[in-house]
Amino acid sequence: MQQDFNLEFFRIRLTAMRDFYESGATRPLVFRLQQLRALKEAVIKYENEIHGALYEDLKKSPEEAYATETGLLITELNVALKNLHRWIRPSGASTNLVNLPSSSKIYRDPLGVVFVISPWNYPFQLSLIPLVGAIAGGNCVLLKPSEWAPATAGVIEKIVGEVFPVEYISTVQGDGASVVPAIMHSFRFDHVFYTGSVAVGKLIYQMAANDLVPVTLELGGKSPAIIENDANISVAARRIAVGKFANAGQTCVAPDYVLVHNSIKEKFEEALRQTITQFYGQQAQDSGSYGKIINERRFDKLVSYLPQGDIITGGQYDRSHLFIAPTVLKNVSQESLLMKEEIFGPLLPVLGFDTKEEALNVIRQNPNPLSLYLFTGDSQAEKWWIDNVPFGGGCINNAAWQFTNHYLPFGGIGNSGMGAYHGKYSFDIFTHAKPVMKTATWIDPKIKYPPFSGKLKLFKWFFR
């Protein structure tokens, strides 16, 4: 059950978490594996309840909920369970000539007590995938689910409370705008992991900076999909549509707008229109594969964008059901809010271009996107775009699916965030790389000690 926020209660709780961490209880491999297994068992046990909560919050079907939430989490758990014994092992490092005879290793130390602050759009996996990394890293965790997805937040609290001791992993509920600052101003965490908007990410960063607390910021941005004139139009339409309209467009890695070569622009628009109908039917509101907008505040914001372009397809909406149809727009001004703000909903502007430089200038209006998607069969064009656009991560001839590949680090750059996670990268971000050099005592060259007069030539040779 969710409880009202009480700052003094959480001060005591966090002090207990600090004591538990400093006892060393979280460090042994066997303890970490036990916690990961227990979490996996709970996710499987409560799968139907999790999916029910995701339907209540976002109208996600069981299939979409598994593919984009619980399935991704179980994969992360399996990867950690399989590999953690290797991840925690000290790794060897080379030693330079001046330090011989010595050997060098890098140890991975837990950070301590960490704060994970989660968003509402994928409220289950974006809460618990970072938690997997923090547990694997040997930390204690305070977890803040989003109050905008209350059904899922309640299930998360239930699972965490059932599986973990409160002095090890705890949840805090309530209005993030008041709860998060109160907690961060009253307790020094060893790391803060935040997923959400750029505006709130900046505030988190500022609060953490007061105590030199390191942060991971997984933010957003306007991620472009670029379609060159040699692209497979039907494949591009299908892959952009599924990447954009999954979760009713409320996905940080969704294509935010399309830049398509003018020579194929009309063909692409028609292919996209047909694809949307194939995916969601004539009435997307009745589709079991199409979700809803999270709340009325976001709904009203998205509807305000609709007059800012000419609608190719879609445009229907129903506030009583928080429904906005998959919508494609053209003739959108680059000065409009539709092209200046991250849309984070099922509206997709399509812009034409004739040259790469013209398209690049559009992207530079919103630099450092979280993702970039390029559709082309030309390896030279592929290289040009990768070389010329800074972005967090992306795909060639695909959209959004890079997020599901745990072998790749996921994270942003500049305005779209800092730090990366997934798979071993999650373990790395919740641990400190502690380098240690061990030097033999059977030899102790005098060159290393004063007086240094006359040794400059030797020093230059050693440090060459």
pLDDT tens per residue, range 96-134: 988 999 999 999 999 999 999 999 999 999 999 999 999
- Render pLDDT for 337-385 as a digit per residue (tens, 0 to 9): 999 999 999 999 999 999 999 999 999 999 999 999 999 999 999 999 9
Q: How many residues does the chain have?
A: 464
Q: What is the pTM of this model?
A: 0.95
Segments of 149-275 assigned E as strands: 169-171, 191-195, 215-218, 224-227, 257-261
**What's the mean per-residue pLDDT of the chain?**
96
- Catalytic residue annotation: 218, 252
Q: How confident is the model at residue 5 (pLDDT cuts 50, 70, 90)?
A: confident
Answer yes or no: are the C-beta atoms of 416 and 368 closer than 8 Å. Answer: yes
What mean pLDDT do residues 55-80 have?
97
- Render pLDDT for 137-150 as a digit per residue (tens, 0 to 9): 999 999 999 999 99
Q: How confident is the model at residue 3 (pLDDT cuts 50, 70, 90)?
A: low
Whole-angstrom distance, CA of residue 314 vs CA of residue 32:
49
**Coil, strand, or helix at residue 345?**
coil
Q: What is the CATH number of domain 224-411?
A: 3.40.309.10
Task: Provide, rounded to the nearest whole percent, the portion of the chain with pLDDT above 70.
Answer: 99
Class of domain 7-219+415-435: alpha beta
What mean pLDDT do residues 326-336 have?
97
- Domain segments of the chain as ranges: 7-219+415-435, 224-411
Residue 380 vs residues 166, 228, 369, 376, 385: alpha-carbon distances, Å? 55, 12, 22, 10, 9
